[in-house]
Structure 1
Amino acid sequence: MRPGSSLALAVLALGAALGAPPALAADPAKAVILATTTSTQDSGLLDVLIPAFEKRTGYFVKTISVGSGQALAMGRKGEADVLLVHSPADEEKLMQDGFGVNRQLVMHNDFVIVGPPEDPAGIRAARTAREAFARIAAARALFLSRGDSSGTHAKEKGLWKAAAIDPEAQSWYQQTGLGMGDTLNVAAEKGGYTLADRGTFLARNKASPLRLAILLQGEAKLLNVYHVIEVNPARWPRVNAAGARAFAEFVVSAAAQELIGRFGVDRVGSPLFFPDAGKRPDSLGL
C-alpha cells in the first residue's frame, strides 16, 4: 500500500481478519479504498452499487463512510483511492490543489429541513431555507447540526450565513459530531430540527419511523449533488489508480445509473437519488 498510510494498512489487515474475498488477500491490486459520505451508506445505496461493481470487475471495495470533508481529507493524504462526495466547493479546491483527477457528476437528491410535526418555530410557513433558519433562531428552537465537516454540514453553515445568523454559541444549537442517520435519530429523540439529505431521511424513516416531518423542501439552493473523484496518482503513486478508474467508470455507466435511478422506488415509492452522469453541470444550476 501507499507509504505512510497506516489507515490503508489497517484496512487490509481488517479485511484479512474478517475473511475478505480471496482476491483481496492474494492480490492487493484488486482492493479499492472508497472514501464516501454517510448518506450513501445510511441510505443503503452502497449496498446495491458495490456488489454490482465487485461482480462486474473482480475488484473488492473497502468503504470508509465519513463526512465529505473527512473523505476529501483522506484523498489529500493518499489514504483512499477514489471519493464519492457531495461538497462542491471543497471538491473544486481539492481539484485545484492537484489531489484529485477526473471529477465526474454522478447523481443528485436534495436537502430537506425536518423537525417535530408540531413545528414550534413555524417553519412550514417559510418560503425559503433562509427564512426557515431565521424562524428557528428567533424561536430559539433546538437545532441539531452534524458538526462533522460533511457536505451536509457545509450546506447548513452556508444557510446560516445566508440568514446572517451565527448559531455557534447559542444554547439551542447543538452539534452531534455524528453521521446523517444518527443525527436524525438524535433530532427525533430530542424534538429538534435538522438539515438532512432526502435519501437518508426517507430510508431511515421507512426502516424505523422517526417522529420528524419534512417541513421545508424544494428550494433550488437545497440541491445536493454528488461527484466521483479519483485520487491523483501523480501525488500518491501507491494509490490503486486502475481500481479507482474502474469504480469511477462504473458509477457513471448506464448500468449503475439505472440502479441509482431505481433505488428506493420499491422501498419508499420514489427514487432516493437521480442519475446525472453525462449531464452538463449548468443543467442542474451548478
Structure 2
Amino acid sequence: EMRFVDAGYGLNRRNLMYNDFVIVGPADDPANIHGENNAVRSLQKIARGKILFVSRGDDSGTHKKELYLWKKAKWIPELSWYREVGQGMGRALQMANELNAYTITDRGTWLVMRSQLSLKLLAEGDAELYNPYSIIAVNPARYPSINYLGAMSLIAWLTSVEGQNRIRNYRLEGQALFIPTAIKKLK
C-alpha cells in the first residue's frame, strides 16, 4: 500500500480495520498444532511431518503472508506435500477440505465457510497473523476520469464513527468479522 501511495497512484491512505489469519486443518490434526499460538512453529510441524498443505498460490496478500511465514519457518515447501490452488480463499479452503490438508485463511472467510467444511480451526492468536486493512483513494491527477469526490466521501464515511460502528457490528454467529481501527477510542 505504501509503495502504491509513494508511487503517486493513491492518496489519503487511512487505517480502516483488521482481522487475523488462522491455520485450519484436519480434525485429527496429524501435525499436532491444536491450540498453538505460534504460526511459524505450526508450519514447522506441518513441514516436518510432510503433511498436506494447501496454498492459495495466487500472489494475494494472504499468499504473500503465507510465504513470509514459510520463510520465517526456514522451510521451502516441497511438491510432495504442498499444493497451490492458484485461486481465492474459498477454493483453497474447499481443496484443503477435500484433501484433508492444512491451510492459512483469514478469519472472516473461515467464519463464513466453516459450516460447509470438516476442517477445524487449530492455530490462532499469533501477532504474525495480524491482517490490517486500509482504504486509499486513487490519485485523480494520474487518473482524471475516476470519481475522486465519491471515493473521498466513501473514505470519510467508512472512517467516521458511524462507519466504524458498522464495521464493529458486522458479525456472523456472534463473532466480529473485522475490528475497526480508524478511530482510536470507538464507543
> Percent sequence identity over matched residues?
45
The 2-side partners of 1:132 and 1:179 are apart by 22
Which residue of structure 2 lines up, in the alignment, with residue 278 of structure 1? 183
Selected match of 1:197 from 106, 114, 117: 106
Q: How far did 1:126 drift?
A: 4.2
Q: Conserved in 1, the CA contact under 8 Å of 2:137 and 2:152?
A: yes
Selected match of 1:131 from 25, 32, 41: 41
The 1-side partners of 2:27 and 2:176 are apart by 24
Structure 2 residue 185 is the aligned partner of structure 1 residue 185 = no
Residues 36-95 of structure 1: per-residue CA shift (max 9 Å, x gap): xxxxxxxxxxxxxxxxxxxxxxxxxxxxxxxxxxxxxxxxxxxxxxxxxxxxxxx11111
Higher RCO by CA contacts (8 Å cutoff, separation 6 or greater): 2
Structure 2 residue 123 is the aligned partner of structure 1 residue 213 = no
Which residue of structure 2 lines up, in the alignment, with residue 117 of structure 1? 27
Report matched runs for 1:221-236 at 5 Å.
221-236=128-143
Selected match of 1:101 from 11, 14, 37: 11
User: Residues 250, 202 of structure 1: CA spacing in aligned structure 2 closer, same or farther, 3 A cutoff?
Assistant: same
Q: How far did 1:171 drift?
A: 2.1
The 2-side partners of 1:209 and 1:125 are apart by 22
Amino acid at match of 1:275: P
Where does the alignment leave 5 or more consecutive residues of structure 1 unmatched?
Answer: 1-90, 281-286
The 2-side partners of 1:157 and 1:92 are apart by 20
Please identify, of 100-109 and 250-259, the stretch whose mean Cα deviation from structure 2 is larger: 250-259
Selected match of 2:148 from 225, 237, 241: 241
- Greater helix proportion: 1
Q: How far did 1:108 drift?
A: 0.8
For the aligned residue pairs, the C-alpha RMSD in angstroms reads: 1.6
Q: Residue 141 of structure 2: SS of its match in structure 1?
A: coil
Residues 232-286 of structure 1: per-residue CA shift (max 9 Å, x gap): 112212221112112211211222211111111xx31221111111349xxxxxx
Structure 2 residue 167 is the aligned partner of structure 1 residue 260 = yes
Q: How far did 1:209 drift?
A: 3.1
TM-score normalised by length of structure 1: 0.62
Which residue of structure 1 lines up, in the alignment, with residue 74 of structure 2? 164
Where does the alignment leave 5 or more consecutive residues of structure 2 unmatched?
Answer: none
Q: Conserved in 2, the CA contact under 8 Å of 1:203 and 1:268?
A: no
Q: Conserved in 2, the CA contact under 8 Å of 1:133 and 1:163?
A: yes
